[in-house]
Structure 1
Amino acid sequence: MIIVLIGYMGSGKSSIGRRLVKKLDYRLIDLDDFIEEKENASVKEIFESKGEIYFRKKEEQYLKELLKLKENVILSLGGGTPCFGNNMQYITEAKNAKSFYLKGSITKLADKLIKKKAKRPLIAHIETKEALAEFIGKHLFERSHYYSKAEYHVVTDGKTKDEITKEILDLL
């Protein structure tokens, strides 16, 4: 089975993925890391040298490839992955996949991301928590249509990573 984790940046896809791997003995694949390995360049370098359209085409290609795996995998997607091309359709139609939307509120995401913004090129330029919350709000408004198509929605606010992990395990 493939467990697909979707959600906005900072929603916990990577950290929850690592916890699930320990509980389930699955392999963790981060789609951005997979793309970087296959393309022999960082996501940032791909965007800068070949552009976003090239990146999104490769992202779709590799997502489709990974959804065909016959092994047990936790697949952590980039925050924008479900919103481009037919990616969300591929996820929902994959017979061996279960998708989980890790849903955090704008406030909680902003609280978390303001501390780590230097490591996130998309938000590194944003100065205040208020401006970051506005940025996240606009993005979530655009993306929620796609995220909401996930099979399961797991609200993350007010829960520990262990509680979120347990909730996902209970839903499997």
Structure 2
Amino acid sequence: MKNIVLIGFMGVGKGSVAREVIKHSDYIAIDTDDLIESMENRKIKSIFELEGEEYFRKLEKKVAHWLEQSVKDTLISTGGGFYKQKNIKKIGTIVLLDSPFDEIIKRIKEHPNALKKLKKRPLLQDLQKAKEIYDVRRPDYLKLADVVIDVTNKPALECARELLKKVKKL
């Protein structure tokens, strides 16, 4: 076993798929955004509002370095921009959870805690700007990925099973 690093646009379901993977495998899971919130003792939204995106990206870099040096046999869910970390390929197998932008937004809006989910993602406050970010990031995600899982209209359990099957073949 080696690390699995989940990448993909914010709201695509990395956390949901991660929870299913750990239920059906020997992996444990961590989330880079949770690590940052713990390091800073405040929410991502607050970090963005008070310090800005550049500061947040520096925190991601610190987490990426720690992951490479210290974490093994773990499923790592990442924030939507974490893929830009230069050492990401050294951290583990990169698995992209992929879906069209409109489907991601639809999925978030249909979630029972939709308002909370939208509020906690600063970059989703302006959907037109979010779509532009998605359009820039998606080709980079695809280039970086060792494995791509299309999560569109699939339950998290099905995506988790597909992920484990594909990673096992590597």
Residue identity opposite 1:19 in structure 2: E
The answer to whether the 8 A contact 1:117-1:123 is kept is no
The residue number in structure 2 matching 1:169 is: 164
Residue identity opposite 1:97 in structure 2: G
The residue number in structure 2 matching 1:76 is: 77
- Tell me the CA shift for residue 117 of structure 1: 4.2
CA distance in 2, matches of 1:34, 1:70: 13
- Tell me the CA shift for residue 11 of structure 1: 1.0
Which residue of 103, 118, 121 corresponds with 1:120?
A: 118
CA distance in 1, matches of 2:67, 2:23: 20
- Tell me the CA shift for residue 45 of structure 1: 1.9
The answer to whether the 8 A contact 1:100-1:151 is kept is yes
* Bigger share in helix: 2
For the residue of structure 2 that corresponds to 1:41, the secondary structure is coil
The answer to whether the 8 A contact 1:11-1:104 is kept is yes
The answer to whether the 8 A contact 1:110-1:136 is kept is no
The runs of at least 4 consecutive aligned structure 1 residues that moved more than 3 Å come to: 123-126, 134-137
Change (3 A) 1:125 1:152: closer
Q: Deviations over 1:62-101 (max 9, x none)?
A: 1121122343111000112214xxx1x3112x1x611100
Could you tell me the TM-score, scaled by structure 2's length?
0.83
Residue identity opposite 1:110 in structure 2: I
The answer to whether the 8 A contact 1:2-1:67 is kept is no
Aligned-residue CA RMSD (Å): 2.0
1:90 aligns with 2:87: yes
1:35 aligns with 2:36: yes
Residue identity opposite 2:20 in structure 1: R
- Tell me the CA shift for residue 23 of structure 1: 1.5
For the residue of structure 2 that corresponds to 1:102, the secondary structure is strand
Runs of at least 5 residues in structure 1 that lack an aligned partner in the other structure = 127-131
The answer to whether the 8 A contact 1:2-1:97 is kept is yes
For the residue of structure 1 that corresponds to 2:67, the secondary structure is helix
CA distance in 2, matches of 1:52, 1:123: 10
CA distance in 2, matches of 1:117, 1:143: 24
For the residue of structure 1 that corresponds to 2:29, the secondary structure is strand
For the residue of structure 2 that corresponds to 1:79, the secondary structure is coil
For these two proteins, the number of residue pairs brought into alignment is 160
Which residue of 128, 132, 145 corresponds with 2:139?
A: 145
Q: Deviations over 1:128-164 (max 9, x none)?
A: xxxx4x5543222111132111111111113222211
The answer to whether the 8 A contact 2:37-2:43 is kept is yes
CA distance in 2, matches of 1:124, 1:142: 15
Residue identity opposite 1:50 in structure 2: E
CA distance in 1, matches of 2:149, 2:101: 15
For the residue of structure 1 that corresponds to 2:42, the secondary structure is coil
Structure 1 stretch displaced more, 112-121 or 64-73: 112-121
